[in-house]
Amino acid sequence: MSISSALSNALSGLTANARAVNVVSSNLANLDTEGYARRDIELAANSHGASGGVQVVGVTRHVDAGLLGDRRMADGSLAHAQTRAGFIESVQNAIGTPDEPGSLSARLAALEVSLVTAAARPDAQDRLEAAAQRAGELTGALRSASNHIQSSRQDAEAGIESAVQMLNTSFEQVQDLNRRISDARGRGLGSSGLEDQRQVVIDRIAEFIPVREVPRNRGTVALMTPGGALLVDSTAATLEFTRANVIAPHLTLDGGLLSGLVIDGQTVPPSGPRSPVAGGKLAALFELRDDLAPDAQAQIDAIARDVIERFQSPSVDATLGAGDPGLFTDGGAAFAPVNETGIAGRVTLNALVDPAQGGDAWRLRDGLNAAAPGPAGNSRQLHALSDALSARGALASGGLGGGAGDASHHVAKLTSHFGQLQVTEDRARSHSAALASETQERLLETGVDSDAETQRLLLIEQAYAANARMIRTLDEMMQTLLRI
C-alpha cells in the first residue's frame, strides 16, 4: 500500500470519527428531548478505488414502531379514562358525603332536624326562621350540584371545539412534515430531525384520537384510527364541530340541538363502539357531554322532584289549592312532571316562607296560603312537613332504584350511586395509567442510554487516536524520505 493510500485511509477514519462524535453528542444532548430517537452512524468500506478506507453512509434513527404504537394507544386510553373519572369524581364532590357539612345529605338531615325542633316549640320565631333557612340551603345544594353538571358539559363543549381545532392543525403539520421528509430523502439528505418533529405531533394527536402509523414511500406515513378513519395520507382529513354558546339540560345530541362530529363532510358517531374516533380524550369529552352528564343530571333531577312533590300535595298543607306550589317550587311555580329535566337547577324555596324574599316563616306553622298567623302553639302543620320527609315512597324517575324509602334513603342511594361509579372509573383509570407507564418505560429502554453513549465516546476516542497516530507516523516517514 502506498503512503498516499494509507494517508487517505487514516483521513477517512478521522472524518468518520468526527461524524460519530457529533452523533453521540447529539444523543446525549437530547437525552430528555420529547420525540427524540437515538441515532447511530452507519459506516461502510470505501468502495471507490482500491485504497480502502471508510465512508459514512448515513445516520440511522432507531425507533421501535410497534412499541411506539402501543404507547400511543395506551396514552389515548389513559386520557379517555382520566376525563371520565375526573368528571364522576367532581360530581361526587359536588354532591358530597354525609360527613361533610355542606353535602346534600347533610342539608337534608339539617332540614329534618330543624322541622322537628320547630314542631317542639312552634311559638319560637327563631326556630321557624331556622327551618326556613335550612330548607333554602337544601335547594341551594341541589342547584349547586346541577350547576356543576351543566358547567362540566359547557367545559366539555369548549374542550371539543379546542380539540378539533388542534387536531386539524396537527393533521396539516403531519402532512407538511411528510412532504419535507420525502423531499429530504429524495435529495439524499438526513430527515431524522423532521421525523422527531413528526413523532411529537402524532403523539399529541394520539392523546385525543388513538392512531396507528402506516408506512408509506420515502419515509412518509399515513395515520389511521382503530375504527377505520383515515386521518392523514395523501391529504389531511378535516374535522368539523359547531360549538353551542350555552348548554342547557334539555340540549342533547340525540335531540338534534347539539353538534356531533363530521370527518371530511361525513357525520360520524362521536363516541361509542361504532365511533371511528373512540378511545381517546375527544370521545371522552363527547361521552361526558352526551352521556355521563345527562345521566347525572337525571339522577339529581329525580331527587329534586321527589323533594318538591313531598310538599306540594294539599294532604300535607291544607291551605294549598290545585296548581299551587308547595314548600319547594320550580322557579316560583308549581312543579309539573313534564318539566322535570333540569329541575334541580331551578328548585327554589317558596317565597311565601322565605324571609330573605319578604316572606314569613310562620307560614311553616300555619300553612303557606294562610290568611293570617294562627295559634302560636299549633304544631300540626310542622309535624305534617316533617312526616312528609320521612314518608316512604319510590322515586318517580331516574335510575337509582332501591324501592320505597324516605327522602334520606333516596339521597343516600344517590350518593352511593356516584360512589360506585367513581370506583369503576377509578379502576379503569388506574389500569390505563399502569399500562401507559409500562409501555413508556419499555420505550425508554430503546432510547438514549447515557452510559452506553459514554462507552461509545471512549471507543471513538481510541479510534481517533489510532488514526491520528497513523497520520503522525506517515508524516515522519515522509520527512525521513525527504531528508534522504
Given this model, what pLDDT does residue 97 score?
92
Distance CA 145, CA 418 (A): 12
Write the DSSP assignment of 274-317 as a string of letters. Answer: T-TTTTSHHHHHHHIIIIIHHHHHHHHHHHHHHHHHHHSSTTT-
Q: How many residues does the chain have?
A: 484
Given this model, what pLDDT does residue 344 score?
98
Residue with the three cell numbers 374542550? 159
In the beta sheet, which residues pair with residue 223? Answer: 213, 232
Q: What stretches in the chain show pLDDT beneath 70? A: 1, 47-51, 453, 484
Given this model, what pLDDT does residue 50 score?
53
Q: How far apart are the first and last CA of the chain?
A: 21
Given this model, what pLDDT does residue 318 score?
94
pTM of the model: 0.89
Given this model, what pLDDT does residue 247 score?
94
Beta strand 261-263 with 239-240 is: antiparallel
Given this model, what pLDDT does residue 47 score?
65
SS3 209: coil
Given this model, what pLDDT does residue 26 score?
79
Given this model, what pLDDT does residue 19 score?
79
Write the DSSP assignment of 245-265 as a string of letters. Answer: S---TT--TTTTSS--EEETT
Pick from 267, 275, 290: nearest CA to 225: 275
HSE of 422, CA atoms in CB hemisphere, 13 A: 16
Work out whether the CA dihedral 162, 71, 195, 37 comes out positive or negative: positive
Pick from 234, 286, 296: nearest CA to 92: 296
Write the DSSP assignment of 365-407 as a string of letters. Answer: HH-TT-SS---TT--HHHHHHHHHHH--B--SSSS----SB-H
Strand order in the sheet with 266-268: 239-240, 261-263, 266-268
Q: Which three cell numbers stand for residue 52?
A: 480502502
